[in-house]
A = this chain, B = another copy of it.
Amino acid sequence: MADPVEFYFDFSSPYAYFASTRIDRVAEKGGRDCVWKPILLGPVFKASGNTLLNDQPLKGAYARMDWERLSRFMEVPYGLPDPFPVNTVNAARIFYWQDDRDRALAHRFAVAVFHAYFADGVNVSDLGALLDIAEKSGIDRDHAAAATVDPSVKKRVKDEVDRALERGVCGAPFFFVDGEGYWGSDRIWMVKKVLAGMSGF
């Protein structure tokens, strides 16, 4: 099988959430696996000189309207969570700890975190809420809790963020196909075309 599609995201990004509901199927149709890579937008925004979309004049209002519209267009359940955004470092830690042991389980957890935050309004920065999601996804609660304070897991998340920055990841979602980057849920059409060996618009 050809190299997997890589999907970089922050659990707190609405655009990444919308993309997460499509990218596995897009990769599969293209004969590829899809590797999920949670990162933290905080350091990415710092490196790229960006600020949170939600806080920006004009663009914040546009984005909030756009997320509601994407929810209707894509038929994906969504509500702007409160608080928004939240720190997702613990979600990323649990994900990578589990990903090294059982990828399918880690994937199920990631899907559940996105859904809890954007469809059910659960504050996924709250450790108790996060451990509930882990447990419901089939992850051992104590192991998940331990992962959030494990120095090697902390380092793993930091390394993934650093690696993403080295590779030019400047926002989320960000996809790589055969080493080339595609930024934004709006570029899934292009990922589809590339996977099908086509160009055109």
Interface residues of A (CB under 8 A from B): 22, 44, 47-51, 56-59, 61-62, 65-66, 69, 72-75, 165, 168-171, 181, 183-184, 186-187, 189-190, 193, 199-201
Q: How many copies does the complex hold?
A: 2
Docked complex Cα distance between A171 and B189 (Å): 22
Docked complex Cα distance between A171 and B186 (Å): 16
Query: Chain B: which residue is nearest A45 at the CB level?
Result: B58
Query: Chain B: which residue is nearest A193 at the CB level?
Result: B73
Query: 7 interchain pairs (CB within 8 A)?
Result: A48-B58, A58-B168, A58-B169, A61-B168, A62-B168, A62-B181, A62-B183
Docked complex Cα distance between A30 and B59 (Å): 27
Chain B residues within 8 Å of A47, by CB: 57-58
Indicate which residue in B65, B74, B201 contacts A201 across the interface (CB closer than 8 Å). Answer: B74
Chain B residues within 8 Å of A171, by CB: 59
CB distance from A197 to the nearest CB of B (A): 13
User: Is the beta-carbon distance between B51 and A56 smaller than 8 angstroms?
Assistant: no
Chain B residues within 8 Å of A73, by CB: 190, 193, 199-201
User: Is the beta-carbon distance between A165 and B58 smaller than 8 angstroms?
Assistant: yes
Query: Chain B: which residue is nearest A73 at the CB level?
Result: B199
CB distance from A80 to the nearest CB of B (A): 17
Docked complex Cα distance between A74 and B181 (Å): 18
Chain B residues within 8 Å of A169, by CB: 58
Instruction: Please judge, given known A-B contacts A22-B201, A186-B186, A193-B73, whether A57 and B62 are in contact too, CB under 8 Å.
Output: no
Instruction: Please judge, given known A-B contacts A184-B186, A186-B187, whether A59 and B170 are in contact too, CB under 8 Å.
Output: yes
